[in-house]
Every structure is written in C-alpha cells, then in structure tokens.
Amino acid sequence: MRLTKTVGEYLLGFGALQQVDRLLPKSTRQSGERVYLIDHFFYDGSLLPRLPLLKKDRVLYIDTTDEPTTEQVDAITAQLRSDAPPQAILGIGGGSTMDIAKAVSNLLSNGGSAADYQGWDLVKVPGVFKVGVPTISGTGAEASRTCVMMNHAENLKLGMNSDHTLFDRVILDPELTATVPRNQYFFTGMDTYIHCIESLAGRYRHALADAFSHQALAVCREIFLSGNMQSDEYREKLMIASFLGGSAIGNSLVGLIHPFSAGLSMVLHTHHCVGNCIVLNAMDEFYPREVEEFRRMQESQRVALPRGLCQGLADSQYRALYEATIIHEKPLANALGDDFRSILTFDKVAEIFRRM
C-alpha cells in the first residue's frame, strides 16, 4: 500500500490566472524572483498584463515545437542557475511546458542533470515551489506525479516519477484554452479518455483512481459526443476531467496504448496525444468498445486522424518501434500480465503498427 499524495490546493474558474499572486509564497510577493515558463504560443506578450510581474521576476518562453528532452531541461536549468535562484516557478502551457517547469524545479534543488532522475522515486528533496497553469486540457500533467522527457542518448521516453514532481498549487482557468486549435484540442483532450480506459482495464487497480477515472470518462463522453466540444462550459469541464485523470494515474498505470505511442514518439517523432489517438484506433482487438466509442467521438467532432504513418517503413524501423514499445514493461504487464511478451511478439507488434 503506497502513501498517496495529490495536488491539494488549486484555484478554478474563468479569470483565475489574474489571482495568481494569492497562490505564490508570501515571501515572493515583494521581492520577486519568480520564474514564469510560458508556452511560445503566448510569445506576443498577451498573457503578461494578467501576471503580477515584479522587477526581479523572469519570463522565459518555451519552444514546444518538439516535446521536452532532457537536454532542453538541462539547458533551461543552467540558464536559471547562473542567476539568483528563483523562489517560485510557474509553468504556463500544455503538458510540455508544465513538465519542463516540474523538471526544472526538481533539478534546481537536487542538482545534477535531468537524466539522473528519470525513473521512480529518485528525486531526493522537494523542488523549488511550483505552480502549474494549463492552457490546454487533457494530459493531466497539472495533477500527476511525473514529467515526461525524451532522452535521445538512452533511446527512452520517461519521467521523473516522484511525489516531489507534483505541483504545489494549480490554477485552472478555462479562459486560457479558448485559442487552442480544434484538432489539438481533441487530441490532447483524448489523452484523459485514454489514461482512464487504460487504467480501468488494467490489473493494477486502486479504488480512488477508479472513481476519478469513471468520473473523468463520464465528462469526456458528455463533451466529445456533443455538438460543440469547445464551448465555455465544456472547456471548463475538460479542465476538471483532465485534473481528475491526472490524479487517477498517480495511483494506477496506463496500459497498451501509451507504450505503443511512446514507440511512435521515439522513432517517428509523433507527438504524445495525436500518437495515442492513432494507436487507439488500431487497437480493436484489445479495447473493442472503447475504439468504437472513440470513432463516434471523432465523427461527432469531425476531426480526422493522420493515416498511413507506419506503412512501408524499413525493417529496421519496425524493429526500432518494437524495441521502443516493449521496453515499457510496467504498463504492458498491467494490461496483459507478466507474460505480455508471449502475446506481443515482434510480428504481432509490427502488425499493429502497420495498421496505423
């Protein structure tokens, strides 16, 4: 039985970002030394009037064209180490920016490089006080105890799984997701749906995680089977579903979809959320009801999936996809049992990838 920690304090509602000062440690309200890591979509400065910027505060825009790497986290940490250490870090963006904020916060207090902490419970001391502010909903990064990074030297995609990775506080302001492009909104939102179906279909279960997952799924169904998934009401609801999904996953494990999607990401550089949707669409034999429901949601929202991603690849690429998938033993065993390799042979895995 594991002692469970979740994000305990959060502010929810339209315009919540304007009250960010309430969530920051009192000691920083006059002196500053807060670092705002903001997704590059907001590079035009449109968010700055809503932030209580002080003289010593720093703003860095995060390039999220590609998903976070250990090198990128190390470079940002080095930049911040070269100056007075910040007293608080705010990650304002999607899963990529929030994960970078979590990783940088841990590194500033623990020393070393990002790759040293990829794994389970390797972070020794709490990071710098950190606040998460999602600007797109679905990954649950605002609520989870991990921050995912690609490590190209080791050919793996893995997070710092630790209680110290949790944000201290979170701001859920649905105003911030109004500008998300339609397809991206759907793909990232579906990450919540996928976390929950994988968790509920697994062997490693936890009653509270199940309750979070059931509720998050009910909200996802309401949103994605509706006529307008991006209405004000549904944007607020999706923020809550994402938070619940992220809280669920801290006490459970994903299943088959995330390992295959990690394979796509390592070998073909496919982004996490669209990759998950592509994989789910090829998983009829493992998640039949969910695949059927996913396709109905996709039709309701008129969102098309990229096709033909894995057709006609070289043998070496199918081999690389297999290796980058099968390495994720925990979730694969959660889905299929310890003997998962007898089901997921190379031929079987390659056949599934060919369907994408």
- The footprint of Zn ion (CB under 5 A) covers 191
- Minimum CB–partner distance for residue 56 and ligand NAD (Å): 27
- Minimum CB–partner distance for residue 7 and ligand NAD (Å): 12
First to last CA, the chain: 38
- Minimum CB–partner distance for residue 24 and ligand NAD (Å): 22
- Minimum CB–partner distance for residue 167 and ligand NAD (Å): 10
Burial of 196 from C-beta contacts in 10 A (0-12 / 13-18 / 19+): buried
- 140 contact, one of Zn ion, ligand NAD, none, CB 5-8 Å limit per kind: ligand NAD
Enumerate residues 292-331 that contact ligand NAD by CB under 6 A.
Answer: none
Return the structure tokens found at 48: 């700055």
Residues 110, 177, 251, 301: which binds ligand NAD (CB under 6 A)? Answer: 177
- Minimum CB–partner distance for residue 184 and ligand NAD (Å): 5
Q: Which is nearer to ligand NAD, 88 or 136 (CB)?
A: 136
Collapsed DSSP state (helix, strand, coil) of residue 147: coil
Return the structure tokens found at 174: 């649905």
Choose the binding region for ligand NAD from 39-47, 124-132, 220-228, 312-320 (rule: CB under 6 A): 39-47
Sign of CA dihedral 27, 29, 32, 37: positive
Q: Is 144 in the site for ligand NAD (CB under 6 A)?
A: yes
Q: In what order do the strands lie in the sheet with 119-120?
A: 119-120, 156-161, 148-151
Q: Is 94 in the site for ligand NAD (CB under 6 A)?
A: yes
Choose the binding region for ligand NAD from 28-36, 43-51, 146-154, 230-238 (rule: CB under 6 A): 146-154
Q: Is 95 in the site for ligand NAD (CB under 6 A)?
A: yes
Q: Which residue is nearest to Zn ion (CB)?
A: 191
Q: Which is nearer to Zn ion, 66 or 83 (CB)?
A: 66
Collapsed DSSP state (helix, strand, coil) of residue 61: strand
Q: Which residues neighbour 247 within 8 Å (Cβ) at sequence distance 6 or greater?
A: 6, 7, 140, 143, 144, 209, 212
Cβ(139)–Cβ(189) below 8 Å: no
Enumerate residues 190-249 that contact ligand NAD by CB under 6 A.
Answer: 191, 246
Residues 69, 106, 146, 270: which binds ligand NAD (CB under 6 A)? Answer: 146
Amino acid letter for position 233: E
Cβ(189)–Cβ(138) below 8 Å: yes
Return the structure tokens found at 342: 């007898």
Which H or E run contains 91?
A: strand 88-93
- 142 contact, one of Zn ion, ligand NAD, none, CB 5-8 Å limit per kind: none
Q: Which residues neighbour 290 within 8 Å (Cβ) at sequence distance 6 or greater?
A: 197, 280
Collapsed DSSP state (helix, strand, coil) of residue 285: coil
- Residue 288 CA to residue 233 CA, distance in Å, equals 30
Q: Which is nearer to ligand NAD, 140 or 202 (CB)?
A: 140
Q: Which is nearer to ligand NAD, 28 or 73 (CB)?
A: 73
- Tell me the pairing of strands 58-62 and 9-12: unpaired
Residues 267, 273, 297, 321: which binds ligand NAD (CB under 6 A)? Answer: 273
- Residue 56 CA to residue 36 CA, distance in Å, equals 11
- Minimum CB–partner distance for residue 291 and Zn ion (Å): 17
Closest-CA residue to 76 (of 53, 93, 110, 100): 100
Residues 184, 226, 281, 300: which binds ligand NAD (CB under 6 A)? Answer: 184
Residues 27, 46, 179, 342: which binds ligand NAD (CB under 6 A)? Answer: 179
Return the structure tokens found at 102: 């979590």
- 127 contact, one of Zn ion, ligand NAD, none, CB 5-8 Å limit per kind: none
Contact residues for ligand NAD (CB under 6 A)? 39-41, 64, 67-68, 93-97, 99, 135-136, 139-141, 144, 146-148, 176-177, 179-180, 184, 188, 191, 246, 272-273
